[in-house]
Amino acid sequence: MKRSQRMARLHRINQLQEKLAASNFASVRERHEQLEQQLDRLRDYWNEYSTRLEELKKTTSSARELREHLQFLGKLDEAIRQQQETLAKSAAQLHNAEAEFLERRVDTRKIEKATASMRRQELVSEQQQIQKEMDDIYAAFFP
């Protein structure tokens, strides 16, 4: 088996690894975007509830109702904090998945170029061999 054929096999393996890394990167990116959207929704909900609290302060004298509203805002604050932590972890995973994908892409391109170079060298070698054989045949018939 020619060297370029062995490299072509390696190239196919690297292409598969690159596709898997790209798929993983896309999946991690999608999950990260979902987490960002969830955080945005939580912040929107907090803003909405905060506005309601300000309105409630003006319209009610019930301490229990105000306390419940404040407790709920506190729970929203905690949910936002946890979502921010989750998002930070997701960002690190996203960075790692992207780095893995880019590394695989570079490896695939390197092997692709090396394989093409080997094929060219083999072709030149084969052409030289054919030319040598033709020269030998010519020399045998026309001394």
Sorting pLDDT into bands at 50, 70 and 90, what band is 62? confident
Q: Domain limits at 92?
A: 3-141
Condensed to tens digits (0 to 9), the pLDDT of residues 87-127 reads 999 999 999 999 999 999 999 999 999 989 988 999 999 99
- The token duo for 128 is 């030289």
pLDDT of residue 101: 96
CA distance 11 to 9: 5
DSSP codes, 3-65: HHHHHHHHHHHHHHHHHHHHHHHHHHHHHHHHHHHHHHHHHHHHHHHHHHHHHHHHH---HHH
Give the contacts of 80 (CB within 8 A, at least 6 positions apart). 39, 42, 43, 46
CA distance 60 to 46: 20
Condensed to tens digits (0 to 9), the pLDDT of residues 16-60 reads 999 999 999 999 999 999 999 999 999 999 999 999 888 888 887
CATH code at position 128: 1.10.287.1700
Q: Count structural domains, the chain.
A: 1
